[in-house]
Structure 1
Amino acid sequence: MKKAPYASDPEASRGREFRENRQGSRGPRSEFQRDRDRIIHSIAFRRLRSKTQVFIAPDGDHYRTRLTHTLEVAQIGRVIARALGLDEDLTEALCLGHDLGHPPFGHAGELALAAAMEPFGGFDHNAHTIRTVTRLERPYIGHDGLNLCWETVDGLAKHNGPVAEPNWALAEIDAAFPLELDAYPSLEAQVAAVADDIAYDNHDIDDGLRAGKLDADRLLSLDFVADLFRELERRHPLASRAKLLRELVRTQIGQMVNDVIEHTSAQAAGLGSVAEVRSAGRALGGFSPEWRERERRLKTFMYQELYHHPDQAQTAQRAGEVVARLFAAYSDDHRMLPTEWRDVLPVAEPERSRCIADFIAGMTDRYAIDRYAQITGERPRGLTNV
């Protein structure tokens, strides 16, 4: 498919932080394809398979993890990017990398780590994604990090749009590899962000219904959801309620994707370059006003009914206690750290605590539970919410 004039061009990339010797290069790949592959082959990406999406340490294997969520985001992102004539490889790289900075136990773990790190500059999972891909992953001899293209690092940094007040982690990278944080990112990055919204808005409904934490009748109190459900009932009169609800999720994803394609195409019409996208002064990729309002209402519903469900809140508190205890233990006695982390632990603050936070943020749920048990002599109780 022919690319749109406002698509990012790997041949015109602003380059990488560190110069590379391409002798023995592995195959005829574009720069953005290389970035996608580097993310897939990273340790941080592999760890996503055992990190929380919504349900902490699920006993069932049908619930989404941070990895399966990421793959679903990438699938949605590529569909939208292809329809808009964008660079699919850059879009996919941004989708695959957008959650690499999440600590164990999802947002509960992030809140606990942010509280522990408050005296040392705080913690933010999105900024930690940048720290992960630029400094903490170390597969190469000549430099730290994955050495991704400027466009990829920029898109990951601005997953939620321009950054007015970067925290210490993002500010450090911006100083070494300037990212123009006050400007909007490429349309590929904007598509990756809305693909993330589409994926978790709908797949969290699916998991919530499966786990019995979401009430279907309450979900159908949203008029636009009810309208779609009634239409599906009309088209499939013999289908069970369970199958209709799954079809509801699938169909709503399709409606959202089509809306984003149509609205973004109209917003970008007439633009002649990616530079015009960045200087537009507003996001061009996303939902139409009608679907933006629907999506806002859906998110509000999900926070009320699922994310803040009493069982979720109780489990999140226990998960936060695990992260807080780990941070306190390693801070009090660095000998508890694995040798490879103990050997590089800085002496002075805030670097010392930031290094400890790097270690904890990289943990999977199961590894964090195992380390907690090793330190305290007992396994934490109640760390499942399904």
Structure 2
Amino acid sequence: MSNRAPYAADPARSRGRELPAARGGARGPRSEFQRDRDRIIHSIAFRRLRGKTQVFIAPDGDHYRTRLTHSLEVSQVGRVIARTLGLDEDLTEALCLAHDIGHPPFGHAGEDALSDSMARHGGFDHNAHTLRVLMRLESPYPDHEGLNLSWEVLEGLAKHNGPVSTPGWALAELNDAFPLSLGQLPSLEAQVAAIADDIAYDNHDIDDGLRAGFLDLDDLLMLDFVADQWREVDRRFPDAPHERKLRELVRSQIGIMVNDVIATTRSMLKAKNISSVEAVREADQAIARFSPEVAAQERRLKAFMYERLYLHPEQRETAEKARDVVARLFAAYAQDASLLPRDWLGNLPELEPMRSRHIADFVAGMTDRFAIERCAEIYGVRPDGLSNV
């Protein structure tokens, strides 16, 4: 990478991997971070994201986003920012692609159910579970468990939302095995991945919400900064079909946010005199960020989306049904472990809390469709009302 900034992560100076890789033979001219990205893309856990909820649970339409398409969109936004700032694009991409791998079926509804079911055994957190999947559960190699990703990818996933002062059991166990400096800020690549996630779902969820009829453009235009963009779109494309104007509105919003992050981050780098990766991690605040003005607009947009979409009465009703599916699945496997597939049953620990954590690992790996089918198979009745679009 010829234009690498001094504060960018360097794969040639990686802190290494948890386990020694004894396999011989070069598998293409790839950097350490490129290898990590490729391992993530080729993983079963990544492929399962296409069957996991983003906003709408088990949607009937083919055009709604899933965790997989969301992750791809986050990656696109993250790479643009990383390239412009001279960061390592491959590390940024790996973090963007993997950041949601730990989500259970039905998104946050499924996570709430698993957290309740696991309350006596340490709870469940999707971010920590992402690390657990990548470091322990996804094991395609003959000589070690996990994908054995680089330290930089794992630390970025562990704390892309900032330092972790009190890790839960899953992250604490993994950090004991391979310390990830949880008290420090992560790399700038990880910070970019986190803000790219915000940019992607803030705007693409608008697209899905409008498509499903849960959001109304007139209500959205009560937000002044959105109304300003809509007027500009209408001025530039007065004769364009309404649906195309809506797509242009979303693109315009993304562009404004991306440009703002780039400009603000450059200002922060200069103000904080950041000239190394170590200086990024030792800073007193995140470097990649929105300007105060755009940050305030983004908070208002989030509040609007929670009120009008995420916590919409129909969404909450569907989420409650989804929580019930996950809760009943966990209860069934906990009561009768013989219901587990043979390989999962064969590795089931006898003692708690490891036994319940093993069951939670299995349930968390399910897609929405698989969870619905297993619930119908176990209880004899197919759950209904799990799609409201």
TM surpasses 0.5 = yes
Q: Secondary structure at the match of 1:152?
A: helix
Q: Which residue of 1 aligns with 2:374?
A: 371
Q: Which residue of 1 aligns with 2:76?
A: 75
**Corresponding residue to 1:320 among 323, 336, 341:** 323
The residue correspondences of 1:95-134 to structure 2 (distance < 5 A) are 95-134=96-135
**Corresponding residue to 1:304 among 292, 303, 307:** 307
Q: Which residue of 2 aligns with 1:186?
A: 187
CA deviation string 1:55-111 (max 9, x = no partner): 111110000000000000000100000000000000000000000000000000000
CA deviation string 1:249-285 (max 9, x = no partner): 0110011011111111111123211000000021000
**2:79 maps to amino acid:** R
- Counterparts of 2:171 and 2:127, CA distance in 1: 9
TM-score for the superposition, normalised by structure 2: 0.98
- Counterparts of 1:267 and 1:289, CA distance in 2: 12
The residue correspondences of 1:91-240 to structure 2 (distance < 5 A) are 91-240=92-241
Structure 1 unaligned blocks of 5 or more = none
- Counterparts of 2:377 and 2:206, CA distance in 1: 36
Structure 2 unaligned blocks of 5 or more = none
- Counterparts of 1:225 and 1:175, CA distance in 2: 46
The alignment yields a C-alpha RMSD, in angstroms, of 0.8
Q: Secondary structure at the match of 1:77?
A: helix
**Residue range with higher mean Cα deviation, 373-382 or 229-238:** 229-238
Q: Report if aligned partners of 1:82, 1:88 keep a CA contact under 8 Å in 2.
A: yes
Q: Which residue of 1 aligns with 2:39?
A: 38
**Corresponding residue to 1:295 among 279, 293, 298:** 298
- Counterparts of 1:236 and 1:52, CA distance in 2: 34
- Counterparts of 1:38 and 1:349, CA distance in 2: 32
- Counterparts of 1:100 and 1:73, CA distance in 2: 13
**1:27 maps to amino acid:** G
Q: Which residue of 2 aligns with 1:360?
A: 363
Q: CA deviation at 1:215?
A: 1.0
**2:376 maps to amino acid:** A
Q: Secondary structure at the match of 2:381?
A: coil
Q: Tell me, yes or no, if structure 1 residue 260 matches structure 2 residue 294.
A: no
- Counterparts of 1:13 and 1:266, CA distance in 2: 27
Q: Secondary structure at the match of 2:27?
A: coil
Q: Secondary structure at the match of 1:347?
A: coil
Q: Tell me, yes or no, if structure 1 residue 381 matches structure 2 residue 384.
A: yes
- Counterparts of 1:308 and 1:161, CA distance in 2: 26
**2:279 maps to amino acid:** E
- Counterparts of 1:56 and 1:105, CA distance in 2: 6
- Counterparts of 1:385 and 1:30, CA distance in 2: 44
Q: CA deviation at 1:243?
A: 2.0
Q: Which residue of 1 aligns with 2:281?
A: 278
Q: Secondary structure at the match of 1:188?
A: helix
**1:306 maps to amino acid:** L
TM-score for the superposition, normalised by structure 1: 0.99
- Counterparts of 2:281 and 2:347, CA distance in 1: 39
- Counterparts of 2:33 and 2:60, CA distance in 1: 37
Q: Which residue of 1 aligns with 2:26?
A: 25
Q: Report if aligned partners of 1:4, 1:85 keep a CA contact under 8 Å in 2.
A: yes
- Counterparts of 1:377 and 1:31, CA distance in 2: 48
Q: Secondary structure at the match of 1:75?
A: helix
- Counterparts of 2:325 and 2:214, CA distance in 1: 24
Q: Report if aligned partners of 1:134, 1:147 keep a CA contact under 8 Å in 2.
A: yes
Q: CA deviation at 1:22?
A: 4.6
Q: CA deviation at 1:242?
A: 2.4
Q: Secondary structure at the match of 1:133?
A: helix
Q: Report if aligned partners of 1:183, 1:281 keep a CA contact under 8 Å in 2.
A: no
Q: Secondary structure at the match of 1:166?
A: coil
Q: Report if aligned partners of 1:94, 1:156 keep a CA contact under 8 Å in 2.
A: yes
**1:342 maps to amino acid:** L
Structure 1's consecutive aligned runs of 4 or more residues displaced over 4 angstroms after TM superposition are: none
**1:368 maps to amino acid:** A
**1:142 maps to amino acid:** D
Give identity over the alignment, percent: 68
CA deviation string 1:332-353 (max 9, x = no partner): 0001011000000001000000
Q: CA deviation at 1:240?
A: 2.9
